[in-house]
Amino acid sequence: MKDKITKATRHTNQNEALIFAKSAKGKRGVEFPPLDVPAINPQAVLGAAHARQEISGFPEVSEIEVIRHFTRLSTWNYAIDLGMYPLGSCTMKYNPRVNEFVARLDGIATEHPFQPQGLSQGCLKILQLLEECLLEITGMDSVTLQPAAGAQGELTGLLLIRGYLQSRGNPRRKVLIPDSAHGTNPATAVIAGYVVENIKSESHGQIDVERLRELVTEDVAALMITNPSTLGVFEQRIAEIAEILHAKGALLYMDGANMNALAGVTRPGDFGVDVMHLNLHKTFSTPHGGGGPGAGPVLMKRFLEPFRPVPVLTQLSDGTLSLDSNRPQSIGRVRAFCGNFGVLVRALAYTLAYGPGIRQATEDAVLNANYIRKKLEDVYDLPYSLPSMHEVVFSDARQKKNGVNTMDIAKRLIDYGFHPYTTAFPLIVPGAMMIEPTESESKEECDLFVDAMRAIAEEAGANPELVRTAPHSTRVGRLDEVGAARNPVLRWKPAASSEAAD
Amino acid sequence: MDSYPNDFRFTKEHEWIKVTGDTATVGITDYAQHELGDVVFVELPKVGTKLSASQSLGTVESVKAVSEIYSPASGEVLEVNQSLAKTPEQLNTDPHGSAWLVKMKLSDPKEIAGLMDAAAYQKYIADPKKEASA
Amino acid sequence: MRYLPKSPTERQEMLAAIGVKSIGELFQSIPAVHRLKDALRLPGPLSEMEIIEFFQKRASENALGYVNFLGAGVYNHHRSVVTDAILQRGEFLTSYTPYQAEISQGTLQVIFEFQTLMCQLTVQEVANASMYDGSTALTEAALMAERLTGRSRVLVARSVHPEYRQVLATYARNSGLQVEEIAFNASGQIDLPALRTAIDNETAAVIVQSPNFFGVLEQIPALAEVAHAREALLVVGITEGVSLGAVRPPAEADIVAMEGQSFGLPPSYGGPFVGVIASREKFVRQMPGRLAGQATDAQGHRGFVLTLATREQHIRREKATSNICTNQALCALAATIHLCLLGKEGLREQAQQNLSKAHFALSELEKIPGVRRAFSGAFFNEFVIELPRSVKLVNAALLRDKIIGPLALGTFYPELTKRGLVCVTETTTRAEIERLAAMLHRALEQPV
């Protein structure tokens, strides 16, 4: 192909410049009705001190150009709608379309958080029903839907613990976190004002209960646990762990990232958890959207209820629902307005679609993970052999002998039409390959994935270079992350347009 | 590069220090840069900062990791290597030379005696369990 | 179940392949005492038709058919159908965070364009790939200023959105950040003499919002001077992004924390929205949130990657400075499409329409005996009016005419009873403004 021809590529998806390169003075993609009041000159009412002169570099393009630009860009993404996303601990399941439809209804998407509560009963009933469903699924007593994401849910949960302990005289100093935990756990504990103490896992990857017994003192506020753990294994001594904590007045926090293994089968509230968060964009199917928005409701036992962030949903004696911000023991407000309402709507639509049948989703998720485990355990190393729930963690130990690591295998999966699994996490497994298929995959799709993984295992022996340099089928190859970090280019600039905008 | 100069002293955390009178130059070892991979950013203290031995003096970042650098000795920072801001990759190519991190005035030169010499350090990094004899 | 792609036979085949007889065997690792014996008591299962019917019923219990004059951080603006058509493409909607750059170039280039647009609007050098919302962005900006200055006292204007200030207070309580509030004056702006008295050499940042909660524009250059004289940073919050089409951007600010809801996102009862932090290049290492950067592959093709990831909590763990994990990529995509459609001229025209209609509305309302504007400072599309009687009483009367009237400020500011915040955008028609004025006039004439 001639160098000058920039539209054609070696792929079916087209080259696409930055939107700024398409800009030309006088084009636009939106027109407004004529102004029906006297026009005002910004200079006149705002004065020279407040009026804006120019929006330098801002694009000027037509409607069709916008459509083509973003449609072409979309074809460079992988997505659940295209195939399996076996990202461990991310629960990339099908995002039902009806959820999108109902979240956009007039009377749902159009509502203003400050409109009278008497005219918001529909919104508040949605929140109330979602609260009831989440309480039933988790077996907890009380809930807040305010947190905007899982990490904010974690923070809210720890602030609830702090508020409660403080009300009893001493917020305590330490939060215990297993070495298998996700990085948000320690980060959150520190933001909540606690010192983190790590607990090493025992040889099967479970919490070392005897060590825990030694570590839990009157100085410990809580243990943050993920159950099933990030190895996809249920903490079998969970009730005992809760007892050890409770005996010293400490609380058990559960990161609900892996709730997709439990819904309908067992309830954290029944096995000793005091406070937990859910990731609605994982277990409850709200779309990831390339990295958010999410929502991170926090569920708790009754004694933590007075500390919930405002506003709190309450039912008045006449049955009407209301948002109450006058809560003297509240930890405060964690986000303006009323949570990520649009995400909450979608999560309720998902829950209603299943009802009690949510158990079947959990069973299928666990079935898929165990099926894949069985079909791959002879070619990939399984560092911990305890029974898997919704995800399975292999390691690259065998392939590493040929110089092929977990990241290489993950990248090679792309050439077989799959999104990579989670690499290099949990940290306690060197070269981890963490696979979570979710319930959304058919037997056929699981078989295709198994075939791909087995083919790559073979390639790692026969032609390691092929795997090491993967992917080979994408629009761009492995990008130079080192160069990008050493000399960050974080925005387009007109001055460099000849280079940056082509 | 795999030589550890005889006039350097080394820490278990893979920093080196070279003493001249009551001032010293500090850097990270070749082993450390190798473990880190491509260095993309270095954060250093302000001139005048007073450090005690084993206190964090800054961080070194690769694409996906951040490592703390600990001061091998107590003292006051006299000078920091400004060139690392523009070219952090020097830490990968010349960790024992042009990519020194700080120069400091030692407040207790006797501390240096507790650090490993080149031979002990090389033995230390060769030992998979990293049990220092020093 | 329609979302589950397995037949009963396939389930049996898979169980057989695993080597177990029943699905129950795969749950044996959960101690028997914790396994549920009964089905959960949940409503459903519902078909698609029933789900739609359920939510349509809820919608009918809300404010459908009412005209509202509410703003206060959430604005009714025109949203092109084009934005939503693209937003619902599965390749954007159902993709993960773009850690695998080779198959995420769509999302990554969008983020890069979003960062650029945010820089252009705010006249800052770098912007992140989004935060949860404006309130958490403002809070993170305060914490960023604390890290940059090594000081732990911030001065926040009382004219900043009250709920934003409450979020800041929640985060500050446990991080040792000391927050003091600075009063507003008769113009509705932060009281400069009070600020000058309060600021000292321990002050990390001065935090204002412009247009502020009363709709009034703050004097950004003067505030920057006061802050910088003490080597403190100026943090400017923006809740109404459309103002940037007509109002001078906060170029002198060190950190801008913006809510992007006005750019193509529905009010949606308060979320999800999209926060932004924009700042100076030299501060980028202390900036929270994800960043996309330009990179090249071995063949020299340009692409984009998430970069400077070592700032993020999943790498720093207990040394992290922020625990923000997800961003609002899909909302940032909506904002990017929306702003590209608007373009330079569209945004200018939209802003001018907001300005014109809001000033028209004020002039109509001021014709009513006893009604006057409460503050004198220049405003964009929101203003505060003072009424001769309680705003809540007047609003109750307006509701009978299907009008949701001004936001009663007494709820947030005890000294501002009888004051209401009015918002008018390009979506408000002249007829609606005139109806508000007529009905308000009539309501005030009724005996109390």
What is the 3-state secondary structure of B16-52? Answer: EEEEECCEEEEEECHHHHHHHCCEEEEECCCCCCEEC
Token readout for C207 is 């935090």
Look up tokens 């919104």; give the residue.
A123
Q: Does B46 fall in a domain?
A: yes
Contact C377, C362 (CB under 8 A): no
pLDDT of residue C245: 98
Q: Which segment, A420-429, B28-37, C134-143, is predicted with the most confidence on average?
A: C134-143
- Is the pLDDT at A3 greater than 60? The verdict is no
CB-CB under 8 Å, C285 with B41: yes
Hey, how many other C-beta atoms are within 10 angstroms of the C-beta on C446? Answer: 10
A272 by DSSP, 3-state: which? Answer: coil
Mean pLDDT of C6-21: 98
pLDDT of residue A103: 98
Query: Is pLDDT above 80 for A423?
Result: yes
* Tokens read off for A352: 């209603």
DSSP label at residue C14 = H
Name chain B contacts of C306, Cβ cutoff 8 Å.
none
The minimum CA-CA distance between A462 and chain C, rounded to whole Å, is: 24
Check whether A497 has a pLDDT greater than 60: no
Give residue C277's region: left, alpha or beta (phi > 0; psi -120 to 50): beta
What are the tens digits of pLDDT across the range C281-325? Answer: 999 989 999 999 999 998 888 999 999 887 776 666 667 767 776
User: Residue B92 belongs to a domain with what CATH number?
Assistant: 2.40.50.100
Mean pLDDT of A285-299: 96
Say yes or no for a CB contact (<8 Å) between C309 and B43.
Answer: no
Hey, is A338 helix, strand or coil? coil
Better-predicted residue by pLDDT, C331 or B132: C331
| Strand positions, DSSP E, C241-306 | 255-259, 275-279, 292-296, 302-306
CB of C184 closer than 8 Å to CB of C158: yes
Distance between CA C137 and CA A132 in Å, rounded? 31
Find the mean pLDDT for residues C45-71: 98
pLDDT for B9 equals: 95
Please report the ipTM that was assigned to this predicted complex.
0.97
Tell me which of A74 and B54 has the higher pLDDT: A74
**C59, C272, C329 member nearest A290 (Cβ):** C329
Angle at A113 between CA C155 and CA C66, to 5 degrees: 135
pLDDT at A169 over 50: yes
pLDDT of residue A356: 98
First-to-last C-alpha distance (Å) of chain C = 59
Which chain A residue has the Cα nearest residue C259?
A336
Helix axes A341-354, A121-138, angle to 10 degrees: 60
Question: What's residue B130's pLDDT?
Answer: 64
Q: What is the mean pLDDT of residues A33-48?
A: 95
The tokens for C7 are 């037949």
Mean pLDDT of chain C: 95
Per-residue model confidence (pLDDT) at position C314: 67
Summarize pLDDT for A343-379 with one digit per residue, the tens. Answer: 999 999 999 999 999 999 999 999 999 999 999 999 9
Instruction: For residue C329, list chain A residues with Cβ-Cβ distance below 8 A.
Output: 289-292
What does residue C179 show for φ and ψ, rounded to 5 degrees?
A: -115, 125
Residue B133 domain flag: no
For residue C37, what pLDDT is reported? 95
Q: Domain total for chain B? A: 1
> Among C403, C330, C417, which Cα is nearest to C365's?
C403
Polymer length of chain C? 448
Q: Residue C388, by phi and psi: left (phi above 0), alpha (psi -120 to 50) or beta?
A: alpha
Q: Write the DSSP assignment of C73-133 as a string of letters.
A: T-------HHHHHHHT-HHHHTPPPS-SGGGBHHHHHHHHHHHHHHHHHHT-SEE-S-BS-
Q: What is the pLDDT of residues A196-211, one digit of tens each?
A: 999 998 888 899 999 9
CA closest to C63 among chain A residues: A119
Chains that touch A (3 or more CB pairs under 8 A): B, C
pLDDT at residue A501 greater than cutoff 50: no
**Chain B residues within 8 A of C318 when measuring between CB atoms:** none
Look at residue B98 and tell me if it is in a domain.
yes
Give the ranges where A402-442 is alpha helix by DSSP (H).
406-415
B63: chain C residues, CB-CB within 8 Å = 309-310
Which residues in A lie closer than 8 A to residue B41 (C-beta atoms)? 485-486
Chain A nearest C-alpha distance from C416 (Å): 17
DSSP three-state, residue C16: helix
Taking only residues 51 to 110 of chain B, the set having a beta carbon closer than 8 angstroms to any beta carbon of chain C reads: 61-66
What integer pLDDT is reported at residue A8 of this predicted model?
A: 52
| % of chain A surpassing 70 pLDDT | 96
**Helices and strands: H and E segment counts in chain B:** 4, 9
The pLDDT value recorded for residue B63 is 82
Query: What domain range includes position B59?
Result: 8-126
How does residue A184 score in pLDDT terms, banded at 50, 70 and 90? confident
Q: Is residue B132 part of a domain?
A: no
| Apex A115 CA angle, A113 and A120, nearest 5 | 80
H or E stretch including C224? Answer: helix C220-229
Q: Is residue B14 part of a domain?
A: yes
pLDDT score of C446: 86
- β-pairing, C178-182 vs C203-209, is unpaired
CB < 8 Å to B65, chain C: 310, 315
* Residue B95: inside a domain: yes
**Residue C126: pLDDT band by 50, 70, 90 thresholds?**
very high
- A224 with C318: CB under 8 angstroms? no
What integer pLDDT is reported at residue A229 of this predicted model? Answer: 92
What distance in Å separates the CA atoms of residue A270 and residue A136, rounded to the nearest whole number? 11
* Chains linked to C by 3 or more Cβ pairs within 8 Å: A, B
pLDDT at B53 over 60: yes
Overall average pLDDT of the B30-50 stretch: 91
Instruction: Tell me the Cα Rg of chain A.
Output: 26
What is the model's pTM?
0.94
Give yes or no for a contact between C207 and C156, defined as CB atoms under 8 angstroms apart. Answer: yes
State the nearest Cα–Cα gap between A187 and chain C, in angstroms: 5
Q: Is residue B49 part of a domain?
A: yes
Tokens 């904002």, located at residue: C335
Q: Is residue B131 part of a domain?
A: no
Encode pLDDT of B91-130 as tens digits.
999 999 999 999 999 999 889 999 999 999 999 998 866 6
| C113 Cα to chain B: minimum distance (Å) | 23
Percentage, residues of chain C above pLDDT 90: 92
Over residues A127-155, the mean pLDDT reads 97
Q: What is the rounded CA–CA span in Å between residue B57 and residue C244? A: 42
The residue of chain B with its CA nearest to that of A481 is B63
Is the predicted pLDDT of residue C3 greater than 50, yes or no?
Answer: yes
Mean pLDDT over each residue of chain A, to the nearest integer: 94
